Structure 1
Amino acid sequence: MKNILFLALFLGSQPLFSQEPAAKRITKHINFLASDKMKGRGTGSPENAKAAAYIARHFKKYGLKPLGVKGYYQNFTAKVRRVVVSDSLRETTNVIGFLDNGAPHTIVIGAHYDHLGLGRQGSSLEKQPEGQIHNGADDNASGVAGLLELAQYYAKNKIKEPYNLLFMAFGAEELGLLGSRFFLNNPTIPLEKLNFMICMDMIGRYDPSRGVGVGGYGTSDAWPEIFKGVESSIKFFTDRAGNGGSDNAAFYAKQIPVLFFHTGGHPDYHKPSDDPEKIDAKAEEEILRLEIKLLDRAMQKPKMTFTPVK
């Protein structure tokens, strides 16, 4: 009897299925990507390449099909324009995994994995950033952790959804959305087959008084019906705009509907103090559960029509 009671209590504290989003795995991903050893994952750095390899390794583990140019990788050259540096041209990559459900259209789920490195490529808000590790736990290790959790969930849920899913980790977002723009100009899947794009950037610092923002609500007339009646254990609100914030802006510019998830700014944004211990992994788990609800509803609808937001 005691064993049965223990098992019930244990199962009650765990995700029902192992593929469901879990705070423990979210924390593990963020602790790896945003550790001091990763030196801020600056574009073109060995640590940035190590982060890309980490993502590709998990895509392979989940059974996703490589849809880059070289396996999971879509290599490109990024240019640092914001500051004068000796190595303004840097080689980097997008990491692309495909869940092929044999469907005619595909949904993109993305997050950027680069950050500001040692503060020499620009955009740091620290007064003297040079040489300081910018770990980027929220920006955007939290988004990558979400990307990996959703990839695992949909790859392992034993359900054949009516849409394919393209999971993308973008490089060089901090240099001006370079990775997402490169993909859209050099797509490895026809753009006309894309339904919409989900972007996660900074989803690790949930503030209950604010809630998680969901941008892009106005980019298709289909979104209001999909959101109707959706409930969550976390507070959330919608915003119509789709052309700001992160890589979603590049897809919006190509007239692809988007949603952009973001828990808001904070004093550690683009500073060395954006560290893993400040992440609310349990809240991020609930944000991902909200995303799954919305994705599942959207996948029961026909392909969306893009609506520009005035």
Structure 2
Amino acid sequence: MIGILYATLICLCFSSLSQHAMAQVNPKNLKKHIKFLASDKMKGRETGRAGSHKAADYVEKYFKKYGLQAMGEKGYRQSFDAKIRRVKLVDSIRRSDNVIGYLDNGAPYTIVVGAHYDHLGYGEFGGSRDSLGVGKLHNGADDNASGVAGLLELARHYATNKEKEAFNFLFIGFGAEELGLVGSRYFTENPTLPLSNIHWMLNMDMIGRYQEQNGLAIIGYGTSTAFPKIFDGLTSSIKFNLSKDGNGGSDQTSFYRKNIPVLFFHTGGHDDYHKPTDDEFKIDYRSLEAILQLEIDVIDNSMKQPKMDFQWTN
């Protein structure tokens, strides 16, 4: 995530999940994905480096496993160049990919689910919040292996639940978010399906470090008049706060700027944000599971609505 978000919170909800909902997410999958993506061998998933390419390969592998159709420009991939701007480097132009899989339910409209898979590498191209950490490995377990784990688990759920939903799904692993939302912006400028066919977009960035005193932030509630209907009666075992604004330091912003309703799920900043100490063992898996259950409920409720309208929030 490229920035810590602050927003006016307009709703606080607290209750318990049903046992039916709790059966929809596999916590073992979440741990497996994060342990792989945030391992030292991934070298911090720096854009244009081997670790980032391995992360993209990993996302593609599971898209294939779940039977998603390739919806990139070349197979599952949509390639683009990203420029490092924070510091001067000889190799400032980096090649990256969006990884795009499509669940075709034969519906007129599509829900986009996204998360970025890149991180800071060794912190040498800027972004590290630890002045002594430059040159040290930034594994990015929360930012954003947690979101990618959520992306893959939602893809698994909707691709294997033996139901044909009333909407299609487009699952996207974005590249080069840490360089300024480059991958998501490239997709919205070069969409592989018409933007007018998108019902709404859900983004996950840093959903692994839930803090009860703050709750889960759900940003973008004001970007469609349908969201109050969608959230009506929804409960969770964790606190969640609804914020109107559609802008913010992650990939949903690129869709919001194209007049598409968005929600951004985010557990907030912490002392390990953009530091070498953002490691897998600090992930709160129980809360991560609850967040994904809530997202499933939100998505399911959104499929009871007609094509969602859009409204600006600022």
Q: Which residue of 2 aligns with 1:68?
A: 72
Q: Counterparts of 2:266 and 2:193 in 1: how far apart (Å)? A: 27
Q: TM-score, normalised by structure 2?
A: 0.92
* Displacement over 3 Å in runs of 4+: 15-19
1:300 equivalent to 2:268? Answer no
Q: CA deviation at 1:17?
A: 9.9
Q: Counterparts of 1:95 and 1:69 in 2: how far apart (Å)? A: 10
* Structure ranking higher on relative contact order (CA contacts 8 Å, 6+ apart): 2
Matches within 5 A, 1:1-310: 20-310=24-314
Q: CA deviation at 1:118?
A: 1.0
Q: TM-score, normalised by structure 1?
A: 0.93
The question of whether the paired residues in 2 share the 8 Å contact of 1:19 and 1:152 is answered with no
The question of whether the paired residues in 1 share the 8 Å contact of 2:81 and 2:95 is answered with yes
Kindly provide the amino acid, as one letter, of the partner of residue 184 in structure 2: S
Kindly provide the amino acid, as one letter, of the partner of residue 133 in structure 2: P
**CA deviation profile, 1:174-211 (whole Å, cap 9, x unmatched):** 00000000001111101111111000000000111211
Kindly provide the amino acid, as one letter, of the partner of residue 160 in structure 1: K
Kindly provide the amino acid, as one letter, of the partner of residue 304 in structure 1: M
Kindly provide the amino acid, as one letter, of the partner of residue 302 in structure 1: P
Question: Is the alpha carbon distance of 1:61 and 1:33 closer, same or farther for their aligned partners in structure 2, counting shifts above 3 Å?
Answer: same
Q: Secondary structure at the match of 1:165?
A: strand
Q: CA deviation at 1:66?
A: 0.5
> Percent same amino acid at aligned positions?
59
The question of whether the paired residues in 2 share the 8 Å contact of 1:76 and 1:91 is answered with yes
Q: CA deviation at 1:57?
A: 0.2
The question of whether the paired residues in 2 share the 8 Å contact of 1:97 and 1:167 is answered with yes
Question: Is the alpha carbon distance of 1:16 and 1:237 closer, same or farther for their aligned partners in structure 2, counting shifts above 3 Å?
Answer: closer
Q: Secondary structure at the match of 1:95?
A: strand
Q: Counterparts of 1:17 and 1:150 in 2: how far apart (Å)? A: 13
Looking at CA atoms only, which structure, 1 or 2, has the larger radius of gyration? 1
Q: Counterparts of 1:201 and 1:155 in 2: how far apart (Å)? A: 22
Q: Counterparts of 1:194 and 1:264 in 2: how far apart (Å)? A: 27
Q: CA deviation at 1:213?
A: 0.6
Q: Counterparts of 2:273 and 2:242 in 1: how far apart (Å)? A: 22
Q: Counterparts of 2:196 and 2:40 in 1: how far apart (Å)? A: 41
CA RMSD of the aligned region, Å?
1.4
